[in-house]
Amino acid sequence: MKVLVLCALVAAAAAWPNYGFLNDPGRSEPSDAQKQHDVNYLLYKVYENIRDEKLKSIGVTFDPEADTSHYTDNGEAVHKLVKELKDNRLLQQKHWFSLFNTRQREEALLLYDVFEHSKDWKTFVSNAAYFRNRVNEGEFVYALYAAVVHSPLTKHVVLPPLYEVTPHLFTNSEVIQKAYHAKMTQTPGKFRSYFTGSKRNKEQRVAYFGEDVGLNTHHVTWHLEFPFWWEDKHEGYHLDRKGENFFWVHHQLTVRFDAERLSNYLDPVDELHWEETIEEGFAPHTTYKYGGEFPSRPDNIDFEDVEGVACIRDLIILENRVRDAIAHGYVTARDGSKVDINNSHGIDVLGDIIESSPYSPNVEYYGSLHNTAHIVLGRQGDPHGKYDLPPGVLEHFETSTRDPAFFRLHKYMDNIFREHKDSLTPYTKEELEFSGVAIDGVSIDGPLETFFEDFEYSLVNAVDDTPQVADVAISTVVSRLNHKDFSFKIDVNNNNDHEVLATVRIFAWPHNDNNDIPYSFNEGRWRAIELDRFWRKLSPGVNHIVRKSTESAVTVPDVPSFDSLIERTEAALSAGSSEVDIHEFVSAVGVPNRFLIPKGNSEGLEFELVVAVTDGKADAAVESLHENTVFNHYGYHGVYPDNRPHGYPLDRRVDDARIFHDLSNFHQHTVKIYNH
């Protein structure tokens, strides 16, 4: 495999177009295959010199300020970045980078702005090649990933998996050490990775979830799609329902984690409290490429103020202000006006102030509870900077789910959101009905069965390198959760004399808690895992709907390996194709499809399967909704297609479950999930 990649690198120089200088007004945009090629080699061995000769040459000869007509802002962003560079104000290379560090984030966004203001691909890629040699590697990777996600120039580019671009953030340090030894001795190696901790730590039972590289990728990719620093006036468009998406994606992570805990005979995670002891410590067993080990946190410590960040008292004050807004039903805006949150849109406003982002109506008053909490919790191993430790795992979206305290923190946030949701008036039967439509039956074709499998990924980019020494195959193998394929079979009767548009919503929640006590309908619906959401046109009469587990709108397949991306791209270019057949991987923001259902257990863990068929015409926020049945709703650009709140119709409290059980368009039955 590595030999093929080396051959591809050698052949890249011949395949690369002659970009030259930016003074050719007649030039045309390169193909999607060429853009994919460029991004591959910009990120390949990102801590080393560029290996592609053409890119390397551009990185040396290109002048970003030579012709500012190729920027939509007339070069304002590039002038600012170049000045910082010439004044030696930028973070040096070979140093850790954290998005939660204000200055480092500003520097990364300076580069991002240069990419985003590039009018054409030649300008974009030339700036990337130039600044790759000059800015901090972590800042470069973040800026390039964010730009590829948001730039119209890179609509069809698939980003390589971050766990192969920056393996240190995802791989235990003892495995990284073995990778270095393999490189130094020129001996190919495949090394087994184990999850952190030992069997003496009960949290080890669910480490396969928080430490899964696919889940880590989902979390960081979502925050790239919906970054907390986003400002419409600078970026040019609005991120629809960004605050509500923040709530929903983390709510789903929390309820999924609780389901995994129940699958392993553990209680649901307790919420974190600022004035109570943090019982669970955490030893990351990971190291920065440059900057030392990730800090550990011992068991049973009390929160301390973090020097230069926040006092615990400040976080309590911010929490009280948010809860006060929920109690009053409005948020106080910066100008003193009241923003009503006692409605379906209120969750979006709350998400904006809790995260927070520039979308917050009053960031000065409500602060940034979520982001500040991540830093404070991440620094508890060295709160006063006494040992000058680098940032903790909670200060990186790539690594934060590795720490079980991440889920305690988000259970705390989630309960604040629930306080708001429970304050809203419950839906009436009339609001939930879909006239003339009834679910006749729901069944599952195939077993609800999970299993563990080995997954291998490359560590070639983890080790120091030189072009004079050939690569050897170095990889790690880790155990991960998967499930057998299955399908939902749903029979829906349309008793109307005309065709209707329907939204099909599928959820599941644990039947019992860890003490084997059944959850009430109201408690269960808050713990509901969203399994799918899609649209169908229903003809008069009985409609047989079959929905495969692989088609779920909330999940994504595994991104191809870096090697595979390079090989596929070079094969497409060699064949003269303008595209690479990798379109299904363009969005990596969903939960890994492997995690669609929880692990379950050997006896079969009971879940309540819920299917709701709602009025698609009333649900639709865009035209031709039925034609937009394949999209990942965690990372949708433009107007969000579904008018309903995330989690509908289970998003509000249910005082009387009989309302749902009397609905003809609602179905519930118990299923079992097995793990073998």
- When pLDDT is averaged across residues 614-638 and rounded to a whole number, the result is 69
Provide the pLDDT for residue 270: 95
26, pLDDT greater than 60: no
Of the pLDDT bands very low, low, confident and very high (cuts 50, 70, 90), residue 11 is very low
The token pair at 240 is: 């629809």
Q: Which of 382, 647, 327, 617 is nearest to 496 (CA)?
A: 617
Residue type, 352: D
Cα–Cα dist 455/453, whole Å: 7
Provide the pLDDT for residue 242: 94
165-177 pLDDT tens trace: 999 999 999 999 9
Q: DSSP for 368-424?
A: -HHHHHHHHHHTTTSTT-TT-----GGG-TTTGGGSTHHHHHHHHHHHHHHHHHTTS
What is the value of pTM for the model shown? 0.94
372, pLDDT greater than 50: yes
Residue 318 to residues 274, 327, 366, 371, 374: CA-CA distances in angstroms?
12, 14, 6, 12, 14
Q: Which of 503, 513, 444, 509 is nearest to 650 (CA)?
A: 509
Provide the pLDDT for residue 25: 42
493-521 pLDDT tens trace: 999 999 999 999 999 999 999 999 999 99
Residue 198 to residues 195, 276, 498: CA-CA distances in angstroms?
8, 25, 61
Residues 249 and 239 sit within 8 Å (Cβ to Cβ): no
Q: Which of 122-136, 207-221, 227-241 shows the lowest mean pLDDT across its residues? A: 227-241
Q: Which residue has the tokens 């079992």?
A: 672
Provide the pLDDT for residue 637: 62
Provide the pLDDT for residue 636: 55
Provide the pLDDT for residue 359: 96
Of the pLDDT bands very low, low, confident and very high (cuts 50, 70, 90), residue 19 is very low
The token pair at 599 is: 């692990």
* Mean per-residue pLDDT over the chain, rounded: 92
Provide the pLDDT for residue 318: 97
- When pLDDT is averaged across residues 185-206 and rounded to a whole number, the result is 92
Of the pLDDT bands very low, low, confident and very high (cuts 50, 70, 90), residue 1 is very low
Cα–Cα dist 568/59, whole Å: 25
- When pLDDT is averaged across residues 181-205 and rounded to a whole number, the result is 92
Instruction: Identify the three-state secondary structure at position 556.
Output: strand
- When pLDDT is averaged across residues 553-561 and rounded to a whole number, the result is 92
Provide the pLDDT for residue 24: 46
Query: Cβ-count burial of 516 within 10 angstroms (0-12 exposed, 13-18 middle, 19+ buried)?
Result: exposed
406-433 pLDDT tens trace: 999 999 999 999 999 999 999 999 999 9
Cα–Cα dist 79/658, whole Å: 64
Provide the pLDDT for residue 235: 86
17, pLDDT greater than 60: no
Residue 187 to residues 1, 48, 475: CA-CA distances in angstroms?
15, 21, 12
Q: What percent of the chain has pLDDT over 90?
A: 86
- When pLDDT is averaged across residues 318-332 and rounded to a whole number, the result is 98
Provide the pLDDT for residue 626: 59
